[in-house]
C-alpha cells in the first residue's frame, strides 16, 4: 500500500478530534442536537485551520442516522458512504477550477432532485471567492431560497472578495489560527502513535513555523521525518531540514550590528548562505528574535510568554541591557519592511546585506530612531576615549590625503569691465526685483566673468540651472530687463551648471568678493 501523508492520515473524522476551533465545533453540535440546521454556511480563515475538515464532518453529521452528541456515529451506511467518498449526497466543488456560470447552473438543476438516501444534499464549495461575478449572481437565488433538503457550505481564505449579497445569506464562522501549544500537543500525540522518537523542542519549533496552520505543521513534520528516517528527530535536525537558523546565529549577528562592525555582520550572512539556510525564513526568525528582545526589555517576567529555553532567555536579558528600546524598534521596522520585500525578490541576499548595513550605519537614514542610534554610538565612543573629529575637518583631511593639498579657490580676474562692475555692485537690488521661483533660483547663482566679458551665472543646483537656462516663464528676459534698468545697458548672459563635484568658488571666481556693494538696496 502506498504511503499516506500525515495530514491526510490523521484528518479528524469527528468533531471531538478537531483542535483549536472549539467555538465553531460547539455551535455546530448544538445546532444538530436542537435540529436548528441552517441552509447556508460560510467558513472563513487562513489555510490549514480545518475549514474543509469541519465541513465534511458537518455534512456527515446532518445525514447521520444515529448522531452521538452532535457528532456522526461513523457506523451507519450514510456515514460510511460519505467517508468513502461514494455518497451522492455530499458534492465537493473546487471553485478555483469550476468558477463559471455554467457550473453554478448545473448545481441549480441538480438541487431540484431530492437525495436518494439521507436527509440533506450538501454542497461544499471550496475557495468560493474564486467564482466569477456571473457565477455569484447565478448562485444568489438558489442560496436565498434553497429546497429544505439542500445545504451549502462555502469555504474561503479571502472573505472580503465575496459579494455582500452572498455574505448576508450565510451563517459566517471565522476560523482562528491554531496556537503553538495546541499544534505541539497534537503533533506529540501523533508521534506517539507513529512511534517516532522526537524532541519536544523540535516539535515546538515546527509548530511555530506552521504559523497557526495544523496542516502546514503536519507537512513540515512529515518532511523532517522523511529526511531523518529511522532516527530521533532533534531540534538541530529540524533546523537543518527546514533551512532555519539557530538562535546563536541571531545573537552573533545582533552583537556585530550593535558594535557597528559591518564586515563581521556580513560574514555571518555569508555563513548562512554557505550552509544553505533559507533567507526568507531567516528574516522572519530574526524579526521574532528582535521582538522577543523588546519584550524582555519591557518586563522582567516574560518566561511564560516567550517560548524559548532558559539559556536563550539569559542571553536575551544580557543583550537587552546592550541596546536602547528606540534603536531596537528601528531594527524591527527595517526587518519587518524587508520581510514583505524579500518574498518576491530575486536577489534576497543583497536585500538582507543592505538592511544589515542600514542597521550598522544609522547615518544612512534621517528618521528620529536613526538619529538616536547615531547619538548612542557617539556617546559610547566618547566613553571609550575615542576622539570625534568634526565632519568638515574629516572631509578636509580626506581631501588633503587624496590630493595632497586642499582645494584652492579660483583666481580673481585682474580687470573687470565697467558694466559688469555696475551689475555686481547692484546685485542685491537686481535680484530683489525678481519674483517667485526666479528670485529663489537666482540667489543660488554665483556671478562670475565669462568669455568675451559676458556675465556668467554658475549653478550647483541642477533644478535651478534648468529653470534659468531654459528661460522658463521668461525668467532670463525679466532678469536682463532688470539689469538694463540698473546700468542702462544690455549684457550678454551665460548660464552654466557646475557638475565637477567641487564648490563654485573653485571653478569660477565669485565677483562679489572683490566688488564693493556701494549701492545699498532694500528688498521690498
- Rounded to two decimals, the pTM is 0.58
pLDDT of residue 519 exceeding 90:
no
Instruction: Give residue limits of the domains in the chain.
Output: 6-174, 181-242, 249-379, 418-513
Q: How does strand 446-449 pair with strand 455-459?
A: antiparallel
Taking only the tens place, the pLDDT of each residue in 200-243 is: 888 988 988 887 889 989 999 999 998 888 888 888 888 778 76
Specify the pLDDT at position 367. Answer: 58
pLDDT at 386: 52
- Higher pLDDT pick, 468 / 384: 468
Among 49-58, 120-129, 162-171, 371-380, the range scoring the smallest mean pLDDT is 371-380
- The pLDDT, as a whole number, for residue 66 is 85
- 90, containing H or E segment: strand 90-94
Query: Is 498 a residue whose pLDDT tops 60?
Result: yes
- What is the DSSP annotation of 374-396? HHHHHHHHHHTT-----HHHHHH
Q: How confident is the model at residue 403 (pLDDT cuts 50, 70, 90)?
A: low
Q: pLDDT per residue over 272-301, tens digit each? A: 888 777 888 888 888 888 888 888 888 776
**Strands 40-44 and 150-156, how do they pair?**
parallel
Q: Rounded distance, CA 126 to CA 164, Å?
A: 18
Name the least confident of 144-148, 235-239, 388-392: 388-392
Judge whether residue 303 has pLDDT over 80.
no
Give the tens place of pLDDT for each residue, 89-106. 888 888 888 878 888 888
pLDDT at position 42 over 90: yes
What are 253-277's pLDDT values in tens digits? 988 988 888 899 999 888 888 877 7
418-513 and 6-174 share a CATH fold: no
Give the CA diameter of the chain: 114
Give me the pLDDT at residue 521, please: 44
- pLDDT tens digits for range 313-332: 777 888 888 888 888 888 88
234: left (phi over 0), alpha (psi -120 to 50) or beta: beta
Residue 311 buriedness (CB in 10 A; 0-12 / 13-18 / 19+): exposed
Instruction: State which fold the 181-242 domain adopts.
Output: Helicase, Ruva Protein; domain 3 (1.10.8)
Each residue's pLDDT tens digit, 480-493: 888 888 878 788 88
Check residue 44 and give its pLDDT.
93
Over the stretch 3-14, which tens digit does the pLDDT of each residue have? Answer: 788 888 888 888
Tell me which of 188-202, 292-306, 451-465, 493-507 is least confident: 292-306
Residues 6+ apart with CB under 8 A from 336: 287
CATH (residue range 418-513): 3.30.300.180
Answer yes or no: are the C-beta atoms of 51 and 129 closer than 8 Å: no
> Which of 69, 77, 82 is CA-nearest to residue 13?
82
In SS3 terms, 468-485 reads as: HHCCHHHHHHHHHHHHHH
Rg for the chain (alpha carbons), in Å?
Answer: 37
Alpha-carbon distance of 381 to 384, in angstroms, equals 5
Instruction: State the chain's mean pLDDT as an integer.
Output: 81
Predicted confidence at residue 141, as pLDDT, reads: 80
Q: Which CATH number fits domain 249-379: 1.10.10.10, 3.30.470.30, 1.10.3720.10, 1.20.272.10?
A: 1.20.272.10
**pLDDT tens digits, 451-477:** 777 888 888 887 788 888 888 888 888
pLDDT, residue 409, reads 62
Q: Indicate the pLDDT class of residue 392, thresholds 50, 70 and 90.
A: very low
Element (H, E) at 91: strand 90-94
What does the pLDDT read at residue 286?
87
pLDDT at residue 518, rounded to an integer: 43
Q: What is the pLDDT of residues 426-453, one digit of tens each?
A: 888 888 888 878 888 888 888 888 877 7
Kindly indicate whether the domain formed by 6-174 is annotated with CATH number 3.40.50.300.
yes
Cell triple for residue 215? 496542516
Amino acid at each position: 500500500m502506498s504511503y499516506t501523508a500525515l495530514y491526510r492520515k490523521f484528518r479528524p473524522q469527528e468533531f471531538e478530534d478537531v483542535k483549536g476551533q472549539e467555538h465553531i465545533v460547539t455551535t455546530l453540535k448544538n445546532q444538530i442536537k436542537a435540529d436548528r440546521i441552517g441552509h447556508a454556511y460560510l467558513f472563513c480563515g487562513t489555510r490549514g485551520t480545518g475549514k474543509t475538515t469541519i465541513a465534511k464532518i458537518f455534512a456527515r453529521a446532518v445525514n447521520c442516522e444515529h448522531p452521538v452528541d452532535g457528532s456522526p456515529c461513523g457506523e451507519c451506511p450514510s456515514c460510511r458512504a460519505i467517508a468513502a467518498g461514494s455518497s451522492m449526497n455530499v458534492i465537493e466543488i473546487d471553485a478555483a477550477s469550476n468558477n463559471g456560470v455554467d457550473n453554478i447552473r448545473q448545481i441549480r438543476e441538480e438541487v431540484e432532485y431530492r437525495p436518494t438516501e439521507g436527509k440533506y444534499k450538501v454542497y461544499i464549495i471550496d475557495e468560493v471567492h474564486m467564482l466569477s461575478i456571473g457565477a455569484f449572481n447565478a448562485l444568489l437565488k438558489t442560496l436565498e431560497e434553497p429546497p429544505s433538503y439542500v445545504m451549502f457550505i462555502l469555504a474561503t481564505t479571502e472573505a472580503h472578495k465575496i459579494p455582500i449579497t452572498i455574505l448576508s445569506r450565510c451563517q459566517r464562522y471565522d476560523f482562528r489560527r491554531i496556537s503553538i501549544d495546541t499544534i505541539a500537543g497534537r503533533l506529540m500525540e501523533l508521534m506517539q502513535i507513529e512511534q517516532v522518537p522526537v524532541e519536544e523542542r523540535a516539535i515546538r519549533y515546527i509548530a511555530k513555523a506552521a504559523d497557526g496552520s495544523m496542516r502546514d505543521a503536519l507537512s513540515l513534520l512529515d518532511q523532517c521525518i522523511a529526511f531523518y528516517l529511522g532516527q530521533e528527530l532533534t531540534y538541530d535536525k529540524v533546523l537543518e531540514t527546514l533551512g532555519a537558523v539557530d538562535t546563536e546565529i541571531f545573537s552573533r549577528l545582533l552583537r556585530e550590528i550593535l558594535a557597528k562592525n559591518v564586515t563581521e555582520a556580513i560574514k555571518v550572512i555569508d555563513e548562512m548562505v554557505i550552509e544553505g539556510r533559507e533567507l526568507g525564513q531567516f528574516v522572519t526568525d530574526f524579526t521574532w528574535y528582535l521582538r522577543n528582545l523588546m519584550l524582555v526589555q519591557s518586563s522582567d517576567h516574560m518566561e511564560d510568554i516567550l517560548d524559548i529555553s532558559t539559556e536563550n532567555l539569559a542571553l536575551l536579558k544580557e543583550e537587552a541591557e546592550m541596546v536602547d528600546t528606540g534603536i531596537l524598534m528601528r531594527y524591527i521596522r527595517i526587518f519587518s519592511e524587508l520581510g514583505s520585500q524579500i518574498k518576491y525578490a530575486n536577489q534576497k541576499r543583497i536585500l538582507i546585506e543592505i538592511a544589515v548595513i542600514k542597521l550598522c550605519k544609522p547615518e544612512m537614514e534621517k528618521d528620529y530612531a536613526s538619529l538616536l542610534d547615531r547619538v548612542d554610538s557617539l556617546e559610547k565612543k566618547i566613553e571609550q576615549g575615542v576622539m570625534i573629529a568634526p565632519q568638515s575637518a574629516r572631509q578636509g583631511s580626506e581631501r588633503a590625503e587624496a590630493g595632497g593639498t586642499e582645494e584652492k579657490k579660483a583666481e580673481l580676474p585682474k580687470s573687470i569691465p565697467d558694466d559688469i562692475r555696475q551689475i555686481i555692485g547692484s546685485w542685491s537690488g537686481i535680484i530683489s526685483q525678481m519674483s517667485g521661483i526666479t528670485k529663489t533660483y537666482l540667489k543660488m547663482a554665483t556671478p562670475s566673468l565669462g568669455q568675451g566679458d559676458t556675465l556668467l551665472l554658475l549653478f550647483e543646483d541642477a533644478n535651478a540651472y534648468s529653470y534659468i537656462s531654459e528661460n522658463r516663464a521668461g525668467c532670463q528676459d525679466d532678469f536682463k530687463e532688470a539689469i538694463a534698468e540698473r546700468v542702462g545697458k544690455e549684457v550678454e548672459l551665460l548660464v552654466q551648471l557646475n557638475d565637477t563635484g567641487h564648490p563654485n568658488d573653485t571653478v569660477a571666481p565669485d565677483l562679489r568678493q572683490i566688488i564693493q556693494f556701494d549701492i545699498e538696496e532694500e528688498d521690498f
